[in-house]
């Protein structure tokens, strides 16, 4: 008996990622289920704001003795534009990158473009902007964690390059975890803000790693990563809890799987009913195993 995860459809609406989980045929946990969960956008925005504010508040002195006032003004105009105004942000970011391809602010703008293209669901430019940001700053934890998290959500398992993409996501998330562990607190943020940023980004990296391993059917590694992702945040992503429950179910750890599915079922949304169904099935199997 096996709970499988395969992508039938992954949709992003207004910058929100919906991950599709389906239950394998023949599973006592249910058949033909295709629950979709759309996580809250505020969570992602709060996480992203920390690094963005750090970049925005960098003093001219930190960036070198000569900073073009027009470049600085263009940089601030980009970040002063509300994230909801995606089209304007993208246009300003593209104009900035074209005019100042190697300036002190360019990497931060590419990082901001990653989030703008995420909201627009423009995946070629999302990945391209991420690569350009990392070429300028290899340890940009915001870009590493976010791109590494998106890849396993969107990847087509039938794509001939799927394995390479999962390897890339794994590498990004591992780099993010290391960079976060050694990251120095910027003077422009409080201890509380810095701790929150690190906790959220670390959880995001473990979430991405967990889904990479889940895609590979490495359920033991997936469970370990997803446990870290869901234990480190006050309101775990139900998608992670569902994947954690499915991983534990495949490992025949039915009691633990029932706990994960039950926590998932506490959150309203598309996964609530399927998680309750899986929790009930796992509880029955746990009882039978006694």
Q: Is 223 domain-assigned?
A: no
- pLDDT surpasses 80 at 101: yes
Mean pLDDT of the chain: 81
Predicted local confidence at residue 66, as pLDDT: 63
The answer to whether residue 172 scores a pLDDT higher than 90 is yes
Give pLDDT, residue 143: 97
Q: Which of the four pLDDT bands, split at 50, 70 and 90, describes residue 224?
A: very high
- Point out the least confidently predicted range of 13-27, 178-192, 245-259: 13-27
Give me the domain span that covers residue 126.
41-58+65-137
- First-to-last CA distance in the chain? 18
Largest CA distance in the chain: 72
Residue 261 pLDDT exceeds 90: yes
Q: At 202, phi and psi to the nearest 5? A: -65, -40
Torsion angle in degrees (nearest 10) through CA of 153, 97, 109, 119: -40
Please list, in sequence order, all residues whose beta carbon lies within 8 angstroms of the beta carbon of residue 64, skipping any fewer than 6 positions away.
104
Number of structural domains in the chain? 1
142-145: long-range contacts at Cβ-Cβ below 8 A with a sequence spacing of 24 or more? 142/48, 142/51, 142/52, 142/111, 142/114, 142/201, 143/110, 143/111, 143/114, 144/172, 144/173, 144/175, 144/176, 144/179, 144/205, 145/172, 145/173, 145/176, 145/201, 145/204, 145/205, 145/208
Query: Is the Cα torsion angle 68, 73, 75, 76 positive or negative in sign?
Result: positive
Residue 279 within a domain: no
Average pLDDT over residues 114-136: 96
Residue 82 belongs to a domain: yes
Domain assignment of residue 281, yes or no: no
Average pLDDT over residues 233-255: 93
Residue 186: what pLDDT? 87
Mean pLDDT of 210-218: 95
Sort 158 into a burial class: Cβ within 10 Å, 0-12 / 13-18 / 19+: exposed
Interval 188-211 mean pLDDT: 93
Rounded average pLDDT over 256-268: 95
Q: Kindly indicate the confidence band of residue 176, based on its pLDDT and cuts at 50, 70 and 90.
A: very high
Residue 27, in any domain of the structure: no
Find the mean pLDDT for residues 152-159: 90
Q: In this structure, is residue 126 part of a structural domain?
A: yes
Residue 276 has pLDDT above 70, yes or no: yes
Query: Can you tell me the distance from the alpha carbon of 205 to that of 211, in angstroms, rounded to the nearest whole number?
Result: 10
pLDDT at position 188: 87
> Three-state SS for 37?
strand
Q: Reply yes or no on whether the pLDDT at 135 is more than 90.
A: yes
Average pLDDT value for residue range 189-212 = 93
- pLDDT value at position 68? 86
Domain-embedded: residue 230: no
pLDDT for the residue 4 = 40
Please say whether the beta carbons of 141 and 179 come within 8 A: yes
Q: Is the model more confident about 63 or about 243?
A: 243
Residue 62, pLDDT > 80, answer no
Asked whether residue 201 is domain-assigned, the answer is no
Residue 106 pLDDT: 96
Please state which of the ranges 1-10, 22-31, 235-244 shows the lowest mean pLDDT.
22-31
CB 50 within 8 A of CB 193: yes
Mean pLDDT (whole number) for 82-110 = 95
Report whether 120 contacts 90 (CB < 8 A): yes
């Amino acid at each position: 008996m096996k709970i499988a995860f395969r992508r039938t459809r992954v949709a992003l609406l207004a910058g929100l990622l919906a991950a599709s989980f389906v239950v394998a045929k023949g599973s006592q946990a249910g058949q033909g289920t295709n629950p979709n969960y759309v996580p809250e956008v505020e969570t992602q925005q709060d996480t992203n704001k920390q690094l963005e504010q750090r970049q925005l508040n960098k003093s001219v002195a930190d960036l070198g003795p000569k900073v073009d006032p027009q470049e600085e003004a263009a940089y601030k105009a980009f970040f002063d534009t509300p994230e909801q105004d995606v089209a304007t942000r993208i246009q300003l970011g593209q104009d900035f990158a074209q005019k100042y391809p190697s300036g002190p602010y360019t990497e931060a703008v590419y990082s901001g473009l990653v989030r703008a293209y995420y909201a627009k669901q423009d995946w070629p430019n999302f990945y391209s902007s991420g690569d350009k940001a990392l070429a300028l700053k290899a340890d940009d934890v915001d870009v590493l964690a976010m791109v590494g998290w998106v890849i396993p959500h969107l990847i087509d398992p039938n794509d001939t390059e799927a394995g390479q993409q999962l390897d890339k996501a794994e590498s990004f998330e591992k780099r993010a975890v290391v960079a976060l562990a050694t990251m120095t607190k910027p003077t422009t943020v409080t201890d509380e803000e810095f701790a929150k940023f690190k906790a959220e980004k670390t959880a995001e990296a473990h979430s991405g790693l967990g889904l990479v391993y889940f895609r590979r059917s490495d359920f033991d590694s997936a469970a370990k990563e997803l446990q870290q992702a869901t234990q480190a945040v006050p309101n775990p992503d139900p998608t992670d809890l569902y994947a954690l429950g499915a991983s534990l179910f495949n490992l025949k750890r039915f009691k633990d799987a029932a706990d994960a599915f039950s926590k998932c079922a506490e959150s309203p949304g598309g996964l609530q009913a399927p998680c309750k169904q899986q929790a009930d099935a796992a509880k029955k199997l746990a009882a039978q195993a006694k």
